[in-house]
A and B are shown apart, each in its own frame.
Chain A
């Protein structure tokens, strides 16, 4: 475990020329299984980073360490200059800056799409209801679902649900968005509409970390691609280099399977 300076609550102000997310030598085990074995990565503000790798290699776990959903055993995760594994860290404060969308069962099924988008800003941030509603409707328009505002998740397609989930995370005005295989459970036809939404976000300068199996998307949108296998980062590179001239045999074996 890294030593956290006692002056921690007032960290050196983070500036955009430093990585907005820096993961260093992170270890994590669930019981006997070692899931992360010394993972490091860094992401600059406005970058879109894709994490690819075989099933069970620890991609979701890595993503979850960034918003403290998974506590780590050793190493350090720094988000905007804040040490995430500082026991005194206000996790709720951190999660306001880091939005996350999951593979499935994201939306609250007992609320309409609009209510899903509105609840966190109202209940967590204590913002004014009318102002939040205006913003929520604008976000639903942004993901092209303004006409579905009053539908419940059960009445929406998987792709529409994922777009509402993205709008819901954006309603908290995060600085970083995490996406964990958000298209993995979708029909091929609806995958595209979700990817278009994410791509627009990345192009607007949102910092995005995506775990994905969509290699075409990674190639076109990512600034950087990381390949994980058995809890380590085997290789990382800009997409052209990653897909064109991967060095490690494990990366090449993986790519030959998925491409």
Chain B
């Protein structure tokens, strides 16, 4: 099934290549030749996308776990503050958050006289981590609240403190329930990293535009090059989706 879909996409990608794709024509390299030439650079850009997505996910998950615990805290003040933060970042468009981080944060810090640069891609990581945080917080809240109340009571009646109950009884059961939604979120983040091209981070989409410009803006290269970008994202994200659905099916039974 997976192989079949990937093949179908590859086929669609080749179909959009014009007839002269495979033959060099005069001084100009063929389409595939150009793609071959630029592929290492484009793939290094894709690796950068993945790096941004992994870092944003890691940062956002840590922050989101804390925020999520705030959403189920016994103190109503803490709950309300966490709720406000979660709703704010969940309902903000990702691109707007990205712009916000880009232009709000300085491009360098001065720490004890030394100038520490604060590059755009780090800001992008933070920009993506914010919606990840809010969505993770919601996932944590949903999972904690889906545990039967009797589990809390059983732990309480065994003399567990609230904190012990949360860490030893509730959260270990939540991990399984959270995994599918969390992986789904990861796919979304990976795809969203291409937004960083809008703010000038040299990830894959930016590099593709650069490569096309270096080839003199040949219109016949546009579709194949962007098709290649789509293909890379698909090959990476599709298996995650398959795996997610498999986990969902497995945990749904229990």
Contact = CB atoms under 8 A, between A and B. Distances in A.
A108 interface: yes
| Chain B facing A: main interface SS | helix
B75 interface: no
Contacts of A67: 157
A102 B159 contact: no
A95 B154 CA distance: 11
A220 B151 CA distance: 31
A218 B169 CA distance: 34
A154 B151 contact: no
Contact of A108 (B156, B157, B169): B169
B5 interface: no
Contacts of B173: 108-110
Contacts of B168: 119, 123
Contacts of A165: 154
A154 B173 CA distance: 13
Nearest to A106: B154
A124 B157 contact: no
Which residue among B157, B160, B168 has the maximum number of chain A CB atoms within 10 Å of its CB? Answer: B157
Contacts of A120: 158-160
Contacts of B159: 92, 95-96, 120, 124, 172
Interface string B194-219: 00000000000000000000000000
Nearest to A125: B159
Contacts of A110: 172-173
B220 interface: no
Nearest to A154: B254
A77 to B, nearest CB: 15
Contact of B150 (A92, A106, A172): A106
A105 B157 CA distance: 13
Interface residues of B, number: 18
Contacts of B150: 102-106
Contacts of A123: 160, 164, 168
Contacts of A168: 158
Contacts of B20: none
A216 to B, nearest CB: 26
A123 B163 CA distance: 12
B139 to A, nearest CB: 18
B164 A124 contact: yes
B161 interface: yes
B148 A100 contact: no
A158 interface: no
A99 interface: yes
B157 A69 contact: yes
A172 B154 contact: no
Nearest to B148: A105
Interface string B139-170: 00000000010110111111111001000110
A105 B154 contact: yes
A160 interface: no
Interface in A134-167: 154, 165
B147 to A, nearest CB: 9
Given A109-B173, A124-B164, A95 B158 contact: yes
Nearest to A92: B159
Contact of A124 (B148, B151, B153, B158): B158
Interface in A84-129: 92, 95-96, 98-100, 102-110, 119-120, 123-124
B154 A124 contact: no
A61 interface: no
B113 to A, nearest CB: 49
A169 interface: yes
A113 to B, nearest CB: 14
A102 B154 contact: yes
A52 B217 CA distance: 85
Nearest to B169: A108
B151 A108 contact: yes
A259 to B, nearest CB: 30
Interface of A: 67, 69, 92, 95-96, 98-100, 102-110, 119-120, 123-124, 154, 165, 168-169, 172
Interface of B: 148, 150-151, 153-161, 164, 168-169, 172-173, 254
Given A92-B159, A106-B150, A124-B160, 18 more contacts: A69-B157, A95-B156, A95-B158, A96-B159, A98-B157, A102-B150, A104-B150, A106-B154, A108-B151, A108-B154, A108-B155, A108-B169, A119-B158, A119-B168, A120-B160, A124-B158, A154-B254, A168-B158
